[in-house]
Amino acid sequence: MPQVDYDGRMAAVYDRGRHLPDHTVALWADAARRHLPSTGQPVLDLGAGTGRFLAPLSMALGVPVVGVEPAEGMRARAAARRLPKTVSLVAARAESLPLGAARFAGVWASQVLHHPAELGRCAHELRRVLAPGGRVLVRGMYDELALQWPLAPYFPEAVAAGRTRFARLPDITAALERAGMHLVAHEKVEQVVAETTDDFLARTALRADSALAVISDDAFAAGFERLRRAVDDGSRPAPVCEVMDLAVFSA
Ligand SMILES: C[S@@+](CC[C@H](N)C(=O)[O-])C[C@H]1O[C@@H](n2cnc3c(N)ncnc32)[C@H](O)[C@@H]1O
């Protein structure tokens, strides 16, 4: 399983390259509120990255949120946000969480569970830190990249890399089930990623996406040229939407 380096270039471009409109972030905070038990216990944001969901989750749920993030570059950007006092950051990996047992009402795992090399260890750690009845919310593009990802028509090498090099939902489901959790919901959520084609081109140029980061520079350049032509001839209009999976597992 390849690891994407989230410390160097990716940390520098992530916020601009993966920016979501406020209404899209609000849509996700609302989805978390619908699926997480309201016990007042904290929520764990696993692989919190630059922290784009930390404050929105804490505010929507009205509970403390602990962001766990192993990459120093990503964590530094999260810490540089004006975070509410209800948000804290921990340097750790999902495979070994320095957190007490049965402490969390839920885990928010946004675009992260396809990364860890040792999914089984992560799943056991998530189960350990969850309170009884707690939930793991897995957000990502896990079903069929070619149908879900608006860049798929232009970057076939990235679609192939996404299929073969990252864990997919059946792998994640199996690991969580072995750790004692079960799937209780699987939603398809359409989200706006860019309101204009200029924004879509600018964010794509940053390669702030793991599937674009792992292909060759030549493959990226050819794909970007195909995308630019599609924008020019109107076959790639705005707004640009994509379909995400939200899989909910209960302890
Ligand atoms: C695509 S980013 C997602 C960041 C954030 N969740 C979001 O949605 O914006 C993936 C994040 O997972 C983190 N990550 C990778 N492997 C991890 C692991 N084993 N445990 C915890 N986080 C990990 C990376 O450092 C990176 O910040």
Tens digits of residue pLDDT in 222-240? 999 999 999 999 999 999 9
Please tell me which residue, 165 or 127, carries the higher pLDDT value.
127
Which residues make beta-bridge pairs with 240?
A: 194
The residue-averaged pLDDT of 153-174 equals 92
Measuring from atom 1 of ligand 1, which residue has the nearest CA?
Answer: 111
Distance CA 223, CA 219 (A): 6
- Domains in the chain: boundaries: 9-143+167-193+243-250
3-class SS of residue 235: coil
Pocket test for ligand 1, best of 3, 28, 110, 112 (most atoms within 8 A of CB): 112
Q: What is the CATH number of domain 9-143+167-193+243-250?
A: 3.40.50.150
Please check the confidence at residue 100 and state whether its pLDDT lies above 70. Answer: yes
Closest residue to atom 4 of ligand 1, CA basis: 49
CA of 218 to the centre of ligand 1 (A): 26
Q: Which of 93, 115, 209, 242 to mutate to test the pocket of ligand 1 (most atoms within 8 A of CB)?
A: 115
The pLDDT assigned to 3 comes to 65
Tell me how far CA of residue 231 lies from CA of 48, 58, 149, 194, in angstroms.
Answer: 32, 38, 16, 13
Global pTM reads 0.96
Q: What is the pLDDT of residues 24-35, one digit of tens each?
A: 999 999 999 999
DSSP 3-state percent helix, strand, coil across the chain (nearest 5): 40, 20, 35
Q: Is the pLDDT of residue 2 over 50?
A: no
* pLDDT of res. 163: 86
207 pocket-lining for ligand 1 (C-beta < 6 Å): no
- Mean pLDDT (the chain, rounded): 95
Q: Name which residue sits closest to atom 23 of ligand 1, judged by CA.
A: 47
| Letter string b/e over residues 59-94, b meaning 16 or more CB atoms within 10 A of that residue's CB | ebbebbbbbbbbbebbbebbeeeebeebbebbebbb
pLDDT per residue as tens digits for the range 242-251 = 999 999 999 9
Q: Which atom of ligand 1 lies nearest, measured to the CA of 117?
A: 19
Over residues 116-143, mean pLDDT? 96
User: What spacing in Å lies between the alpha carbon of 175 and ligand 1's midpoint?
Assistant: 18
Q: Could you tell me the pLDDT band of residue 1, with boundaries at 50, 70 and 90?
A: very low
What does the pLDDT look like over 168-196, one tens digit per residue?
Answer: 999 999 999 999 999 999 999 999 999 99
**Cβ–Cβ < 8 Å for 141, 209:** no
- Whether 119 is in the pocket of ligand 1, judged by its Cβ within 6 Å, is no
Taking each helix axis from N to C end, the angle separating 9-17 and 197-205, rounded to the nearest 10 degrees, works out to: 170
pLDDT computed for residue 182 by the predictor:
98
